[in-house]
Structures are given as C-alpha cells and as structure tokens.
Amino acid sequence: MGKIERNQLGQSRLSLTDLDVVGNSFLQTLIGRDHHRIEYPDEQSQEEAAQAAALKNNKPQP
C-alpha cells in the first residue's frame, strides 16, 4: 500500500504532477552525478607535464 492510498500526502498540497516533476528532477540529478567528463587533449597534456615535473623534482641528485 502506497503513501497515496494511506492518505499520507493528503494535506501536502502537492499534486501527482508535482510529485512526478520532483521525481524526474531527482533522477536527472543522480544521472548527472555519475556522468564522467571526457578528457580533452589539452587537459591531458597539462596533467602529463605536471607528472613529469613532479618526477623531475623527486629524482635524487647525483
């Protein structure tokens, strides 16, 4: 038995359409949260340059 059948939302002033909009909004938020951004070549080269600099700075001096 759901909340509507138990009249739990009877005094909330929300319509079924409102509840549908809220549900869809939550769904889109959850989908967007797990969306992974692609790496662009410029970003990738910056990361590689940063890693190379870090390795260079951590090398033992002869």
What is the CB-side half-sphere exposure of residue 45 using CA atoms within 13 A?
Answer: 3
Q: How far apart are CA 43 and CA 4, in angstroms?
A: 50
The dihedral of CA 13, 15, 17, 22: what is its sign? positive
The pLDDT tens digits for 13-57 are 888 899 999 999 999 998 888 877 777 766 657 777 788 788 877
Binned at pLDDT 50, 70 and 90, residue 60 comes out as low
pTM of the model: 0.48
Structure tokens at 46: 């910056």
pLDDT at 61: 45
Structure tokens at 37: 């951004």
